Amino acid sequence: MFDSNKQPILSPYQVAALRMLSSGIIMLPFIKKAWQQIPKKTIRYVILSGWLGSFFPAFLFCIAETKVDGALSGSLNSLTPIFVIIIGALFYKRVTSTQKIIGVIIGLIGCGMLTYTNNHQPLIYFAYIGLIILATILYGINVNMVQKELQNIPSTSIAAFAFISLIPPSFLILYFTGFFNLPLSNSTYITSTFASCLLGVLGTSLASVLFYMLVKKAGGLFASLVTYGIPFVAIGWGIYFGEQVTPLHICSLIVILLGVFFANRNGKNK
């Protein structure tokens, strides 16, 4: 979070931790039912889903976006369906057709093009881009795991148990990064804290419940196609905030989405 002078109000670690903490707190009323509905043998998968699908990506994106424009990070998010296919084929023995492979290759070419648009940036910039790509890989692992291991568990229960398990580590990160020593009564800190928490409630807990439902009803690859829309929203906000969006950015995004389209075209995603 930044003030009007582009100075950070909260660190990326604090923003991500607040997001995870608020997503866990809002799900507390559902913990009793979740405990009853989740078989003990699958609890580890539920907890792992919280870490892979929300906790680590939240921190990776927050850290990356201290250097990478929102338009670019949102565009790279569209790689998620590509990694759903790759992870599914490599580790979950899901059938991969020639068409899917072609789609993956096209998508990766688009990723390379998108990265090339920033070739004037210092080398460290690409390390931050790598954090975003790592987050999409974690999304791909999580989608496949949920589809295989948590198919018969209610989505609300998965989200409730997963996010509540993230409350302790999120609180510890806030404590050790000095969040509670900040002038939290100051209006700028109140606004930033509220915005981070709102992102956790709506963008993490509620969105994850809906996403888990979609994964189980429509299949992992189809569910990951929600990332089709994210780049366009991100680019729209990027233009609004004065970020540099070039025609090559747009072309690269189109190539990535074309790859996702090819990978999903036959509709055999389950």
User: Which pLDDT score, from 0 to 100, does residue 37 have?
Assistant: 93
The tokens for 115 are 């990265």
Distance CA 137, CA 131 (A): 10
Task: Indicate the DSSP class of residue 2.
Answer: B
Residues facing residue 131 across a β-bridge: none
Helix (H, G, I), strand (E, B) or coil at 101: helix
pLDDT attached to residue 186? 92
Going from the first residue of the chain to its last (270 residues), give the mean pLDDT of each consecutive group of 10, the final group possibly shorter. 60 96 96 94 95 96 88 78 86 80 81 73 83 93 91 91 96 96 92 94 86 70 59 70 77 80 60
Q: What pLDDT was estimated at residue 255?
A: 84
Nearest to 154 by CA among 112, 199, 209, 105: 209
Could you tell me if 42 and 156 are in contact, meaning their C-beta atoms sit under 8 angstroms apart?
Answer: no
pTM over 0.85: no
CB atoms within 10 A of CB 179: 21
* 202 C-beta neighbours (distance < 10 Å), count: 13
Residues 22, 200 contacting (CB under 8 angstroms):
yes
Return all residues near 185 (Cβ < 8 A) that are at least 6 apart. Answer: none
Q: Where are the domains of the chain?
A: 12-264
Query: What was the pLDDT predicted at 268?
Result: 45
